[in-house]
Amino acid sequence: MIGVEYKDLSEYWILRTLALTNLFKWANSLIMNKPKYSLKAIEKLLKHRKIATLSQIKAALGEPARCTVFRKLAELEYISSYSHRGKYYTLRATARFNPLGLWEYRSVCFSRFGNLLDTAEALVNGSTAGYTATELKEVLHVKTKHALMQLARSGRIQRELFDSVYLYLSIEDHVAKRQRKARKSRSGNSFASMVIVNPDLAVEEAKATILLFCSMLDERQRRLYAGLESLKLGYGGDAYIASLLGMDPHTVARGREELMSGKLNKERIRVPGAGRLLQEKKHRRS
């Protein structure tokens, strides 16, 4: 070392070795003292809450960096909501997907297909008779018009006019052909089972009357009414009524099952635990 005299060269190397050893110990201590974020903290949080926001997960972990949170979530196979702008997260193992691949918890919606675009594409491609934006909105419980238009423009699904509204069909021509045929068959069916038979009432007038009537009902009444009409039609009634009224077929099926069971709660509209999440009050900063 400059400006320092040593008795011999060995003394210099001994001191140099000690300095390097101390430096390595200090560096290792920094590495060893680096905070560790446990996966169990996320599992515990989501087991209790089922869903959580990014800020809630960060707080449970001890406020790590954003990239650290997502790295930990990826190890647990997480999914983000397609509603609420992807604000909520859950574990794939927690979600209880229905036959359509959807799961809703306290008004927050998740899909096994991923985000809204991927979910809309999957449902359209797998549908019996395609979807209109209104019909898909009823199924997904979020606005779908812009997502469907984006999918059509990017060539992921087809779009065409049908009875003065846009109908979205599979990108596969043979599937789309089958969907068109099913849609035409439905539109040609009589509405006599849903309104009092009136020879002077046109099909479109009958449909408008039904939709107006349904718009005056609350969620429970609409579900039960749809279930009643499905019972009248028999096999395939759930899918037909759902398409007609722009509802999820499983909602129609639930209304039908409620009627058949005879166990109806006159006071409650939704099942226990349903409903929107409580919103945190915003306090004005002083």
Say if 50 falls within a structural domain.
yes
Position 196 pLDDT exceeds 50: no
Check which CATH number belongs to the domain holding 177 and give it: 1.10.10
Distance between CA atoms of residues 226 and 241, nearest Å: 6
Q: Is 155 helix (H, G, I), strand (E, B) or coil?
A: coil
What is the count of structural domains for the chain?
Answer: 3
In a domain, 222, yes or no: yes
Does 13 have pLDDT greater than 70?
no
Domain boundary among 130, 150, 185: 185
Same domain? For 70 and 136 the reply is: no
Question: Which of the residue ranges 143-157, 179-193, 210-224 would you say has the lowest mean pLDDT?
Answer: 179-193
pLDDT over threshold 80, residue 98: yes
My answer on whether 210 and 255 are in the same domain is: yes
**Residue 172 structural domain:** 115-185
Lowest mean pLDDT across 196-205, 231-240, 261-270 = 196-205
Same-domain check for residues 64 and 133 = no
User: Has residue 112 got a pLDDT over 90?
Assistant: yes
Distance separating alpha carbons of residues 44 and 56, to the nearest angstrom: 12
Whose CA is closest to 255, among 272, 239, 238? 238
- Of 60, 84, 114, which marks where a domain is finished? 114
For residues 89 and 119, membership in a common domain is answered with: no
Residues 104 and 169 in one domain: no
pLDDT at 212: 83
- Comparing 248 with 126, the larger pLDDT belongs to 126
Confidence category of residue 32, pLDDT binned at 50, 70, 90: very low
Residues 166 and 236 in one domain: no
Of all residues in the chain, what percent carry a pLDDT higher than 90? Answer: 30
Please state, in angstroms and as integers, the Cα–Cα distance from residue 267 to each residue in 12, 214, 261, 270, 274, following that order: 89, 20, 17, 9, 14
Q: What is the pLDDT of residue 192?
A: 47
Count CA atoms closer than 13 A to 59's CA, side-chain side. Answer: 7
